[in-house]
Amino acid sequence: MKNRKTIILLTFGLLLIIISGLFYVGKLQDDNKDTAPPTEVIDIPQIPIEEVKEHYDVVVVGTDPEGVAAAVSSARNGLKTLLVDGRNREILGGLFTLGWLNSLDMNRAPDGVDYYNKGIFKEWFDRVEGDSFAIVTATNAFHELVEAEDNIEVRLGMKSMEPVVTEASGAKTVSGVKLTAADGTVLEVTAGAVIDATQDGDIAAAAGAPFTFGREDIGDDKLLMAVTPVYELVNVTPEVWDAISKRQNNDDDDGTGANNESVWGFKEMWEYPSTNPERIRSRGLNIGRSVNDTAFINAVQIFDIDPFDPASVEEAYEIARKEIPLMLEYLKSLYPELEPIELGGLAPELYVRETRHFIGEYRLTMADLLEQQTHPDDIAFGSYPVDIQSTSSAPTDRGAVLMTPEFYGVPFRMLVPKEIDGLLVVGRAASFDSLPHGSARVVPLGMATAQAAGAAVKLAQEEGITLRELSANQPLIDSLKERLTEQGMDLTPPKLEPYPFMSHPAYEGMKLAVMMGISQAGYGVDFGLDVESNPKRLFYNLSGASKTYPEVFAHSAEPSIQDIPEDQASKMPLTLEQAAYSLLTAVEGEAVPAKALDVMMAQGYVRTETLDIIKNRSKLTNGDVYMLIKDVVDALSTK
């Protein structure tokens, strides 16, 4: 009997040790993102189509990361939520899990380590490996967030999703969605509000909310940033990864950098000799590490694709399937350490960077970024570089980074579309001008706006007001911000000094130039205001300005530099006389060089105050040029 008791006690003690050990291991897995990720995707329970209810407090359309964040936020705020999507999607996560974009563009704080907003994004981020992640880990993280909320019902696989729009007293309201299932079943679901979390703002567009397309706001409604099919590499063994990572320390460094999850650089891939140069090319690589010796590459640029046309999308895949194997062989020829790798698959969905930009109660501008603006209704902060990818296959078009802001505020009003009530738009289609969209389109910021949207719907319904009325009610906005803070978001703006260019006498001209996209600071905030300009650069400045202000610069300035030798036009100093000649030629079509400045002064095209800040009329700077252009725009623009 005594022996039996001893055995029982020993067994019980052993079980305690095992349980304690499992708890410790589990804690390590929670605290350490380097632990082995799962290998299978956990299912996301879906409600049967016949059990979809006739009414929900909120319907979230779109299952990209922003849609997941909006649904989770709505549910946590006590709203009965339907999360719905089509596009043959069977898992959540969209761009990350079906577009295979597995490297994060983070909104870093000024210390370069911490990041803004936190909230639901942080909950998801804490579940994945790091700034690059395994697709299966990311998918499971989204599924776990949704499955934990009793107030969320999920329905995927819709054949079509349309807004239900009602009109009363001239006001249009989205009152629900019309869903058509794959089997033809049609459901009309009413809702207290709809959150459009589709990548392209499909519900808002169908409801009639106003938007600009591509770079329409700066005069280009034809071109979009290139689309990218992310592709998979296999046989990326630890040895291969180590060899890649070590390249950043080589004497022949080509701009490559690395950490445990990500590698970037390989600038020589820009020189890849495409067999179809008008449609596809490579840029430098972004490589995100995954599981089972795999990695994903974001580097391919494909042009002239209509994301709304299935035939055009399929054409993009056909082009990619032909060219990417050749790109990989070229990559191996440049970097012998990559010889063991092989091509895996292509992402099921294209990475589309921009389409529609909706017009909300507030529109984020480049001035917000330049001036580190805060707003009374800020519900998120941004800081990612203003990254404008190539819009054409022209060899000179490698895209541009306009600046790298330290901070800017994102107001709630930009989620509220003009002309349509009952609707919020979150993610990259929200109300950003096309240039600041290059920064604000990143997913961490989009998830923050989505979390705010879910909480805002609850507050508006509690108060019995519209979302537009909420956006104009500062006491209620303050309440919204308090709730978001309580729910894990960090909405305390950092204390920062103004950028030095703010006190420059040419700042107002520079601001206009940046908003037109003709002045760039790259990965910094130095716009070269005191750098000397030249006749060729002014010609390019005016060509760019003519896209935004065609009514002002209605003519080409090329005749004004045609007598300058080509090899000198970009080297010789720009005089005030030459600048006036080029400006007047662009405005009126012709000019007499010696009289151009007098004509401009007489016509009121140039202000005396601008001439007074020019220190050297024989060597105009970029700042001088921007101020002259601003004077002409102020005098002649009808906008």
CA distances from 638 to 270, 431, 510, 516 (A): 41, 23, 20, 16
> Mutual orientation of helices 443-463 and 474-486 as an angle, nearest 10°?
120
**Residue ending a domain, choose from 286, 317, 346:** 346
* Residue 154 and residue 61 share a domain: yes
Q: Is residue 226 part of a domain?
A: no
* Residue 466 and residue 400 share a domain: yes
Q: Is residue 135 part of a domain?
A: yes
CB 423 within 8 A of CB 46: no
Q: Which residues contact 343 (CB under 8 A, 6 or more apart)?
A: 231, 232, 233, 234, 324, 325, 328
* Residue 480 and residue 361 share a domain: yes
CA dihedral angle for residue 55, residue 56, residue 59, residue 65, rounded to 10 degrees: -150
Q: Is residue 153 part of a domain?
A: yes
Low-confidence ranges of the chain (pLDDT < 70): 1-39, 247-255
CB 146 within 8 A of CB 133: no
Beta strand 387-388 with 117-118 is unpaired
pLDDT for res 15: 36
Query: Which range of residues forms the domain containing residue 255?
Result: 231-346
Q: What are phi and psi of 637, to 5 degrees?
A: -70, 140
Give dist(CA 256, CA 243) in Å, integer: 12
CB 44 within 8 A of CB 147: yes
Q: Give the three-state DSSP class for 424.
A: strand
* Residue 610 and residue 479 share a domain: no
Neighbours of 476 (CB within 10 A): 19
**Residue ending a domain, choose from 474, 496, 518:** 496
DSSP 217: G
* Residue 193 and residue 67 share a domain: yes
* Residue 312 and residue 247 share a domain: yes
Q: Is residue 387 part of a domain?
A: yes
Chain centroid to Cα 174, Å, comes to: 26
pLDDT for res 24: 30
Phi-psi region of 399 (alpha: psi -120 to 50; beta: other; left: phi over 0): left
Q: Give the three-state DSSP class for 488.
A: coil
Beta strand 257-258 with 342-346 is unpaired
b/e sequence 291-302, b meaning 16+ C-beta within 10 Å: bebbbbbbbbbb
CB 304 within 8 A of CB 215: no
Beta strand 342-346 with 295-302 is unpaired
Give dist(CA 282, CA 325) in Å, integer: 12
From the list 104, 312, 67, 380, the residue with the least C-alpha distance to 200 is: 67
* Residue 630 and residue 509 share a domain: yes
Give dist(CA 301, CA 226) in Å, integer: 5
CATH number, domain containing residue 125: 3.50.50.60
Q: What are phi and psi of 30, to 5 degrees?
A: -70, -35
pTM: 0.92
Q: Is residue 23 part of a domain?
A: no
* Residue 486 and residue 510 share a domain: no
Q: Is residue 78 part of a domain?
A: yes
* Residue 578 and residue 629 share a domain: yes
Q: Is residue 6 part of a domain?
A: no
Q: Is residue 225 part of a domain?
A: no
Report how many domains make up the chain. Answer: 3
* Residue 119 and residue 83 share a domain: yes
* Residue 394 and residue 324 share a domain: no
**Residue ending a domain, choose from 450, 467, 496:** 496
* Residue 366 and residue 342 share a domain: no
